[in-house]
């Protein structure tokens, strides 16, 4: 009986205790809600009551101190912190908090004194220096934080624990040479920390002063036997566009690692990706001449040919990628054929390889886009399709063939090509959607608007697919003007002519719609297309005039922002008037804050300003 009574008592008392805890937790959550909602006085009242009843609860203590700080009741913060320190004099975090409060009060001298007391009174552990330094960092007392970090590093058995933090602090205070020295010490003591050092350096060497200071530090300690140090120095040279110096370092790395050109190949690829095609071609050729037996020789030859092609475009100003519509990039046939010969050599030396298939694709592309040799291009693309049905370049060849047949006016043949891709079960859905979109456009050109809309449905529902936006625009166009098929036929014919690069004839058709006040949506787009046809034909003055008219219509024309953006493009790329281009781009930013062209406009502004300066 006595046991039963005791159990009843214990369970009853436990229930009361649990209820007590539950009430405190609910009160604490209520205080947090008040704090979050912006009622700190009400939160303070709750936290004070909870802390008074349970002063050993660290959660209540921290919340109360935080509220005192937010209310700027620093004296109350000092009081509870000193009360805690009287009980726990070796708690380094209490010194950190108390020093932070004094710092916020504007008493830096007292704050520093408290932080020093913390280090002196707490156990002689180097980590305490990091703890106090972090409190100094939180209060943006960076120089004091540096002092704590340096002292901690001096007595630590593992100084690397402090180097990364010190480097960041030196960077924040623009002491770039010291920051570089810290990162250097890491890589010298621990080569395995290569990625940490590289990422740390990349975070601040985008500043010219920092980059140059860092290069000087790493050059002085250059050790050819430390391959990680060489990698970092080479990447710094790349950032500073000192390509010759980077090349020399990579050559040494390649020899040291006995990689047979692989390290140089990576360097050449990096140059290619940075659009430094001339230097990339030089490095690719160096690999070809030095490492004929290397496993990457076919890739090096391919890289060399591709770099020559890109460099040829740059040197001959044939790049017109900024234009919404443009003629094929015609060029000196003799020079193009020299580039084709480089690709042909790859096909001959490395038959039935992916490098050969890629080279074939580039040959077909050059014939199509540079020489306007449609028959020669078709022959190459058909050969690639027949010889390498599983190559990644086969799908591209089908797409190029489809476009060639559109330009030739053979819409049935083009449709047949894209249907083959749609039926191909081995290619990604995104490629199929592109083919569906192209087939829908062909139906649009033919005036078969209903079948065109049906084809677009599968593309539109693939909202993660890049083709869905284009499909949606075409679908909306056909639906919007569905009741006015005669004007839609004219517009579709103009679109067909523009894809065939018959820009003058297309302009005449667009102009018919642009002058028709009754077809609002089509009229706006047709007016923009007239300007785009003028751009394609290098009639820049007439295009600028029309684009200005569209831009002045503001919200009355949904293409007003694009008109301004194209104006900026004309002055940037065609007229080479950088100041005028900047003026137009800045006008776009001010007038159309929600435009999809904002990011591109900002990028162009920064690029042009750097060019001017």
Domain count, the chain: 1
**Per-residue pLDDT, 577:** 95
The answer as to whether 241 is a domain residue is no
Identify the residue with better confidence: 456 or 498. 498
Average pLDDT estimate for 366-383: 94
Question: What does the block give as tokens for 71?
Answer: 């209310």
Alpha-carbon torsion 581, 583, 587, 589, what sign?
A: positive
Instruction: Identify whether the C-beta of residue 522 lies closer than 8 Å to the C-beta of residue 531.
Output: no
Lowest mean pLDDT among 147-156, 194-203, 481-490: 481-490
241-271 pLDDT, tens digit per residue, is 999 999 999 999 999 999 999 999 999 999 9
555-590 pLDDT, tens digit per residue, is 788 899 999 999 999 999 999 999 999 999 999 999
Question: What does the block give as tokens for 579?
Answer: 């100041």
Residue listed under structure tokens 């390889």: 353
Average pLDDT estimate for 432-459: 89
How far apart (Å, rounded) are the C-alpha atoms in residues 213 and 457? 58
81-122 pLDDT, tens digit per residue, is 999 999 998 899 999 999 999 999 999 999 999 999 999 887
How buried is residue 23: exposed, middle or buried, by Cβ count under 10 Å (0-12/13-18/19+)? exposed
How far apart (Å, rounded) are the C-alpha atoms in residues 527 and 562? 12
**Per-residue pLDDT, 470:** 84
592-604 pLDDT, tens digit per residue, is 999 999 999 999 9
pLDDT at residue 178 tops 80:
yes
**Per-residue pLDDT, 310:** 87
192-211 pLDDT, tens digit per residue, is 788 888 888 887 887 778 89
Residue listed under structure tokens 């039926």: 423
Identify the residue with better confidence: 75 or 15. 75
Lowest mean pLDDT among 153-157, 391-395, 519-523: 519-523
The answer as to whether 562 is a domain residue is yes
pLDDT band at 66 (very low <50, low <70, confident <90, very high): very high
**Per-residue pLDDT, 133:** 95
| Alpha carbon 346 to chain centroid, angstroms | 34
pLDDT at residue 352 tops 60:
yes
**Per-residue pLDDT, 518:** 81
Average pLDDT estimate for 421-431: 89
pLDDT band at 274 (very low <50, low <70, confident <90, very high): very high
| Alpha carbon 52 to chain centroid, angstroms | 52
Average pLDDT estimate for 148-168: 91
pLDDT at residue 482 tops 80:
no
Question: What does the block give as tokens for 403?
Answer: 């476009």
User: What is the CB-side half-sphere exposure of residue 245 using CA atoms within 13 A?
Assistant: 16
The answer as to whether 128 is a domain residue is no
Lowest mean pLDDT among 269-278, 328-337, 502-511: 328-337
- Other CB atoms within a 10 A radius of the CB of residue 36 amount to 9
pLDDT at residue 435 tops 80:
yes
**Per-residue pLDDT, 14:** 45
pLDDT band at 316 (very low <50, low <70, confident <90, very high): low
How buried is residue 100: exposed, middle or buried, by Cβ count under 10 Å (0-12/13-18/19+)? buried
- Between the alpha carbon of residue 60 and those of residues 19, 46, 90, the distances in Å are 18, 10, 20
Domain residues for 598? 539-613
Sequential DSSP letters for 265-303? HHHHHHHHHTT-HHHHHHHHHHHHHH-TT-TTHHHHHHH
**Per-residue pLDDT, 319:** 57
Question: What does the block give as tokens for 339?
Answer: 């580039």
**Per-residue pLDDT, 118:** 92
Please list the alpha-helical segments (H only) found in 350-428.
354-369, 374-387, 392-408, 411-423
The answer as to whether 548 is a domain residue is yes
Maximal CA-CA distance, the chain: 112
**Per-residue pLDDT, 135:** 95
**Per-residue pLDDT, 7:** 38
CATH number at residue 561: 1.25.40
The answer as to whether 601 is a domain residue is yes
Residue % of the chain over a pLDDT of 90: 67
Mean residue pLDDT of the chain comes to 89
pLDDT at residue 400 tops 90:
yes
286-314 pLDDT, tens digit per residue, is 999 999 889 999 999 999 999 998 887 66
**Per-residue pLDDT, 3:** 42
DSSP state letter for 556: G
pLDDT band at 159 (very low <50, low <70, confident <90, very high): confident
The answer as to whether 559 is a domain residue is yes
Average pLDDT estimate for 346-350: 93
**Per-residue pLDDT, 464:** 62
The answer as to whether 343 is a domain residue is no
The answer as to whether 558 is a domain residue is yes
Helix (H, G, I), strand (E, B) or coil at 501: coil
Instruction: Identify whether the C-beta of residue 393 lies closer than 8 Å to the C-beta of residue 357.
Output: yes
pLDDT at residue 526 tops 70:
yes
**Per-residue pLDDT, 474:** 87
Question: What does the block give as tokens for 469?
Answer: 């936006």
**Per-residue pLDDT, 10:** 41
pLDDT at residue 442 tops 90:
yes
**Per-residue pLDDT, 556:** 81
């Amino acid at each position: 009986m006595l046991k039963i009574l005791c159990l009843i008592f214990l369970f009853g008392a436990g229930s009361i205790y649990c209820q007590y805890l539950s009430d405190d937790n609910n009160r604490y959550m209520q205080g947090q809600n008040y704090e979050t909602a912006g009622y700190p006085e009400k939160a303070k009242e709750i936290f004070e009551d909870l802390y008074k009843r349970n002063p050993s609860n660290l959660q209540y203590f921290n919340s109360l101190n935080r509220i005192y700080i937010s209310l700027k009741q620093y004296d109350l913060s000092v009081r509870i912190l000193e009360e805690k320190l009287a009980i726990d004099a070796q708690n380094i975090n209490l010194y950190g908090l108390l020093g932070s409060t004094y710092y916020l009060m504007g008493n830096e001298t007292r704050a520093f004194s408290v932080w020093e007391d913390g280090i002196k009174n707490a156990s002689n552990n180097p980590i305490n220096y990091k703890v106090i330094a972090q409190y100094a960092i939180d209060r943006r007392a960076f120089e004091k934080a540096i002092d704590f970090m340096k002292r901690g590093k001096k007595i630590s058995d593992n100084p690397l624990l402090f180097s990364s933090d010190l480097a960041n602090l030196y960077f924040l205070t623009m002491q770039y040479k010291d920051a570089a020295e810290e990162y250097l010490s890491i890589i010298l003591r621990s080569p395995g920390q290569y990625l940490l050092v590289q990422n740390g350096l990349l975070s601040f060497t985008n500043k010219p002063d920092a980059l140059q200071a860092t290069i000087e530090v790493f050059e002085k300690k250059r050790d050819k036997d430390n391959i990680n140090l060489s990698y970092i120095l080479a990447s710094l040279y790349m950032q500073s566009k000192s390509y010759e110096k980077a090349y020399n370092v990579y050559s040494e790395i390649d020899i040291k690692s006995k990689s047979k050109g692989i390290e140089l190949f990576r360097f050449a690829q990096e140059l290619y990706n940075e659009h430094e095609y001339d230097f990339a071609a030089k490095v690719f050729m160096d690999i070809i001449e030095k490492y004929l037996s290397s496993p990457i020789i076919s890739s090096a030859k391919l890289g060399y040919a591709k770099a020559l092609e890109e460099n040829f475009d740059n040197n001959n100003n044939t790049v017109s990628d900024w234009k919404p519509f443009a003629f094929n990039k015609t060029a000196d046939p003799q020079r193009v054929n020299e580039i084709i010969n480089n690709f042909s050599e790859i096909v001959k030396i490395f038959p039935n390889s992916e490098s050969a298939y890629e080279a074939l694709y580039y040959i077909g592309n050059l014939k199509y886009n540079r020489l306007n040799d449609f028959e020669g291009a078709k022959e190459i693309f058909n050969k690639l399709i027949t010889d390498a049905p599983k190559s990644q370049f086969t799908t591209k060849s089908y797409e190029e063939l489809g476009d060639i047949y559109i330009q030739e006016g053979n819409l049935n043949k083009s449709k047949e090509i894209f249907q083959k891709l749609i039926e191909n079960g081995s290619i990604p859905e995104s490629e199929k959607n592109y083919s569906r979109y192209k087939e829908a456009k062909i139906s649009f050109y033919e005036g078969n608007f209903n079948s065109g809309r049906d084809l677009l449905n599968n593309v539109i529902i693939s909202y993660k697919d890049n083709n869905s936006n284009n499909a949606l625009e075409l679908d909306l166009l056909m639906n919007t003007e569905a009741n006015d098929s005669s004007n839609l036929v004219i517009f579709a014919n103009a679109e067909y002519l523009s894809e065939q690069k018959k820009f003058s004839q297309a302009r005449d058709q667009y102009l018919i719609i642009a002058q028709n006040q009754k077809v609002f949506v089509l009229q706006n787009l047709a007016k923009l297309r007239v300007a785009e046809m003028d751009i394609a034909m290098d009639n820049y003055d007439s295009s600028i005039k029309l684009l200005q008219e569209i831009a002045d219509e503001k919200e009355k024309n949904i293409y007003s922002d694009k008109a301004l953006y194209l104006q900026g493009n004309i002055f940037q790329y065609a007229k080479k008037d950088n100041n005028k281009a900047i003026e137009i781009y800045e006008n776009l930013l001010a007038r159309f804050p929600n435009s999809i062209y904002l990011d591109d406009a900002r990028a162009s502004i920064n690029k042009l300003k750097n060019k001017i300066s």
